[in-house]
Chain A
Amino acid sequence: MINNKYDVVVIGSGVVGSSIAYHLSESKKNNILVVDKGFPMSGTSGSTQAWVWVHSKTPSWYGELSMYSAELYPFLERKIGDVEYKRTGGIAPFFNEADREGALRLAEKQAEVGIEVDVLNREEVLEKEPALSQRVAGATFCKLDGNVNPFRLVELYTKAAKKNGAVFSFYNQVVTITKKKDIFQIETDQDTFYSKKVILAGGPWSKDLGKMLGVDIPIKQVRGQILVTEPQSPFLKHTIGGIRQADNGEVLIGYSKEEVGYDKRSTLDIMQETAKMATEFIPSLAKANVVRCFSGIRVMPKDGFPIIGEVPEVRNAYIAAMHSGITLSPLVGTLMTELLEDGETSIDLTRFSMNRFDQMYSRISE
């Protein structure tokens, strides 16, 4: 029987929720509960290519946030264990000489915040990654980029948080959240929980959680479909825009973004498009057999940038919603912990506050 009174309830046990729970549990100051409608990895975190991707995140303040998070991964691994983080370097190829100017501008902008992006010519790209199409014109390259095993990552966040006393409850969907005086009452399928603070970390499902608090969270659901090939001998060294090779040799391929709500089906239209693009990037993939495909519903804030901070008008309710949860999870966990424990953060979160949307709307109405 689990206790029903907590200092903090985190809703959502994906990469963002489990990272927040873990980082918050480190000080052992709070009683923490993480509650999830499903089982770990049944949602977005279990259906991703799991890049830790920095270099093309613009404007540069967003790139900067991603960089700080990527920098935290080696330290995180020392604390929670091997999450198969690999800093492979990232290549974003282009096939048109006309795109070089944009690439140079990206490199210049990112340099302002200390992100090193190289603009490679054709020979340099092919030397780095010989499997790429001979038609490639060039690429941007950043050695900070890489990838991680999302299954190990979420599992180890969860294990470490549990070790610090956090409680996890799976298959326990939140049905209503009401606030009475300063206490949140959270009704789930199975229990009633009371908490001083609540953190919405439901990814795309945070839209529904927001409604329970009477708040419209400005996010959309985006479906991404990913193809998996049969294991190939190791031939891709880098994380390439849209494609990466996993440790077991399988190649993961995915570019698509569709707004279809929570519909998690895969469609042959996208599968065939994805396969075609992959072979245009890497011609030798034409010989690889695709063994399966999967779809993930990802969250996309309306302006594309992370929402991190307090929920407007609802004191002690917080939200962490972002498209790049894998990349940002170490930093977001750290920042949310600072916010909850000290009331201030080492990185200014004003830009990431949900309030920015009110300003956006009011600008529109002017």
Chain B
Amino acid sequence: METDLVIVGGGPAGLSAAITATSYGADVILIEESFSLGGQLRQQTQLHANLPSKFFAERGTSLVKRLTSQLETPNLKILRNHTMIGAYKNGHIGVTNGKTTFEIEAKKNIIASGAAENAWIFPGWTLPGVMTAGAAQILLNREFVYPGKQVMMIGSNSFALEVVKQLYECGISVQAIVEASETILSRDQALLSMCKKNNIPFFLNSTIESVSGSGHVEKMTIRTSEGMMEELEVDLICTANGFSPILEAFQIMSCDLTHSEVLGGWLPTYSVNFQTSNPSVYLAGNAAGITSLGSILLTGEIAALSALESLQFISERDSNRKKAALWEELYQIETFFNKDTMLARLELVKHYHSERGLPLPDFVDPLKGEMLFG
């Protein structure tokens, strides 16, 4: 199978890259390991605001439909239920549908593998009824199954509070939110006032001690700020311990990795063009650092433009003009979401360029300026 560009991952970053790449006439193959496109958007019933200018605030579930409706073009081939499992000696990727394994001869690859939730480990963490916040959200919104009746949320980032809100709205009783640090991590005012309005208690400075039950979660013990043990009856424990980039595909392609706590741990190094140390591999989305949906969409577009430029579907001048605008928008959106994320991303990119003696293009200058003076 031959193509100009293969995109690995059909979540928002991969879809955004596919829309951009096909609009310039490139032949694209999109690989998605599940039966449906959209990735984590598929269970996100919440409204996503602060998206790039060409979008408006929208629920994740309806954004998937909007994005996939733009993919009906003859130069795109979508391989659902296909997984990238390796690389051939010649550097091409290999995919399988479980029955046959074959090579995709692509000139360039964009890997948009997304992120995985970090588990939280405590005595009893393997009991049924303990799951990540994301898993509870999938059960609720995608499978229409109640994950439990009485929930305890461990962690207080915005994603945790969003899932608490969705569980609460479905009639699940929220016992409390447990947070190890001394303040609530989320700064989302709407979510915070939702918790307040509904009298959802927070245990700050508190940690989970253990979970017990026969065959299923029945009880949990938390150690509170005063060192007291508090026992609560729950049948569902959701953990929100943040996300980390999914790296297997990059490791298969021999991309250099680096570590950044702010960006989610280990991740590939990349240039201002979202090109990794393997010149045939670009990346986009949460794989390039954990961020918000708006940034995920923009990075998909930048990666696609960079690949298109190297395949000569767009001139360097036009590509740079567009990328300058996209980087500026990325800067605005990401800074609003979490300025540290943007700073860590710029740091990573600067390091990639300086290590290789590559100048940063002019369009990064305003960002550098803002970094220095902002």
Indicate if B89 sits at the interface (CB-CB under 8 A): yes
Indicate if B101 sits at the interface (CB-CB under 8 A): yes
Q: Is B88 within 8 A of A268, CB to CB?
A: yes
Q: Is A267 within 8 A of B254, CB to CB?
A: no
Q: Is B101 within 8 A of A267, CB to CB?
A: no
Measured in the bound complex, the distance between the Cα atoms of B88 and A267 in whole Å is: 5
Indicate if B85 sits at the interface (CB-CB under 8 A): yes
Measured in the bound complex, the distance between the Cα atoms of B250 and A265 in whole Å is: 12
Closest to B98 in A: A289
| A222 → B minimal CB distance (Å) | 16
List which B98-119 residues lie within 8 A (CB) of chain A: 101, 103
In the assembled complex, which residues on chain A have CB atoms less than 8 Å from the CB atom of B85? Answer: 268
| Max chain B Cβ within 10 angstroms of own Cβ: one of A267, A268, A271, A293 | A268
Measured in the bound complex, the distance between the Cα atoms of B85 and A272 in whole Å is: 12
Indicate if A269 sits at the interface (CB-CB under 8 A): yes
Number of A residues, CB within 8 Å of B: 8
Indicate if A266 sits at the interface (CB-CB under 8 A): yes
Q: Is B103 within 8 A of A268, CB to CB?
A: yes
In the assembled complex, which residues on chain B have CB atoms less than 8 Å from the CB atom of A269? Answer: 88-89
| B142 → A minimal CB distance (Å) | 26
| A279 → B minimal CB distance (Å) | 13
How many residue pairs link A and B with beta carbons under 8 A? The number is 19
Number of B residues, CB within 8 Å of A: 9
In the assembled complex, which residues on chain B have CB atoms less than 8 Å from the CB atom of A267? Answer: 86-89
Q: Is B94 within 8 A of A268, CB to CB?
A: yes
Closest to B95 in A: A268
| A332 → B minimal CB distance (Å) | 34
| A294 → B minimal CB distance (Å) | 12
| B88 → A minimal CB distance (Å) | 5
In the assembled complex, which residues on chain B have CB atoms less than 8 Å from the CB atom of A272? Answer: 101
Measured in the bound complex, the distance between the Cα atoms of B94 and A293 in whole Å is: 14
Closest to B86 in A: A268
List which B219-255 residues lie within 8 A (CB) of chain A: 254
Measured in the bound complex, the distance between the Cα atoms of B88 and A268 in whole Å is: 5
Measured in the bound complex, the distance between the Cα atoms of B88 and A272 in whole Å is: 10
Measured in the bound complex, the distance between the Cα atoms of B91 and A269 in whole Å is: 11
In the assembled complex, which residues on chain B have CB atoms less than 8 Å from the CB atom of A271? Answer: 86
| B104 → A minimal CB distance (Å) | 11
List which A267-291 residues lie within 8 A (CB) of chain B: 267-269, 271-272
Measured in the bound complex, the distance between the Cα atoms of B91 and A268 in whole Å is: 10
In the assembled complex, which residues on chain A have CB atoms less than 8 Å from the CB atom of B254? Answer: 265
| Max chain A Cβ within 10 angstroms of own Cβ: one of B86, B87, B94, B254 | B86
In the assembled complex, which residues on chain B have CB atoms less than 8 Å from the CB atom of A265? Answer: 87, 254
Measured in the bound complex, the distance between the Cα atoms of B88 and A322 in whole Å is: 30
B2-16 near A? 1/0 per residue, CB < 8 Å: 000000000000000
Measured in the bound complex, the distance between the Cα atoms of B94 and A272 in whole Å is: 10
| A276 → B minimal CB distance (Å) | 11
Closest to A260 in B: B89
In the assembled complex, which residues on chain A have CB atoms less than 8 Å from the CB atom of B89? Answer: 267, 269
Closest to B94 in A: A268
In the assembled complex, which residues on chain A have CB atoms less than 8 Å from the CB atom of B88? Answer: 267-269
In the assembled complex, which residues on chain B have CB atoms less than 8 Å from the CB atom of A268? Answer: 85-88, 94, 101, 103
Closest to B93 in A: A268
List which A223-280 residues lie within 8 A (CB) of chain B: 265-269, 271-272
Measured in the bound complex, the distance between the Cα atoms of B89 and A269 in whole Å is: 7
| A291 → B minimal CB distance (Å) | 11
| B304 → A minimal CB distance (Å) | 26
Measured in the bound complex, the distance between the Cα atoms of B101 and A265 in whole Å is: 18
Closest to A258 in B: B89
In the assembled complex, which residues on chain A have CB atoms less than 8 Å from the CB atom of B94? Answer: 268
List which B49-94 residues lie within 8 A (CB) of chain A: 85-89, 94
| B58 → A minimal CB distance (Å) | 39
In the assembled complex, which residues on chain B have CB atoms less than 8 Å from the CB atom of A266? Answer: 86
Measured in the bound complex, the distance between the Cα atoms of B93 and A267 in whole Å is: 10
Measured in the bound complex, the distance between the Cα atoms of B89 and A266 in whole Å is: 9
| B97 → A minimal CB distance (Å) | 13
| B249 → A minimal CB distance (Å) | 13
Closest to B92 in A: A268
| A260 → B minimal CB distance (Å) | 9
* 17 A-B pairs in the complex with CB atoms less than 8 angstroms apart: A265-B254, A266-B86, A267-B86, A267-B87, A267-B88, A267-B89, A268-B85, A268-B86, A268-B88, A268-B94, A268-B101, A268-B103, A269-B88, A269-B89, A271-B86, A272-B101, A293-B86
A-B contact sample (15 more), CB < 8 A, given A268-B87, A268-B88, A271-B86: A265-B87, A265-B254, A266-B86, A267-B86, A267-B87, A267-B89, A268-B85, A268-B86, A268-B94, A268-B101, A268-B103, A269-B88, A269-B89, A272-B101, A293-B86
A residues at B contact (CB < 8 Å): 265-269, 271-272, 293
By Cβ-Cβ distance, the 5 closest A-B pairs, closest first, are A268-B94, A268-B86, A268-B88, A267-B89, A269-B89
